[in-house]
Amino acid sequence: MPDNISRRELIRKFRTFGFEGPFSGGKHQFMVKGQRKIRIPNPHGNRGIHASLVHEILRQAGISPQEWDQE
Query: Which domains does the chain show, CATH number per domain?
Result: 4-70 (3.30.920.30)
Q: Which long-range contacts (CB under 8 A, 24 or more apart) does 62-66 make?
A: 62/36, 63/17, 65/1
CA 69, 53, 4, 41 torsion-angle sign: positive
Q: What is the pLDDT of residues 42-58, one digit of tens each?
A: 876 778 898 899 999 99
Integer angstrom CA distances of residue 59 from 2, 15, 45, 46: 16, 16, 24, 24
Count of residues in the chain: 71
Categorize the per-residue pLDDT at 4 as very low, low, confident or very high, splitting at 50, 70 and 90.
confident
Task: Give the contacts of 33 (CB within 8 A, at least 6 positions apart).
Answer: 17, 18, 19, 20, 61
Predicted local confidence at residue 1, as pLDDT:
54
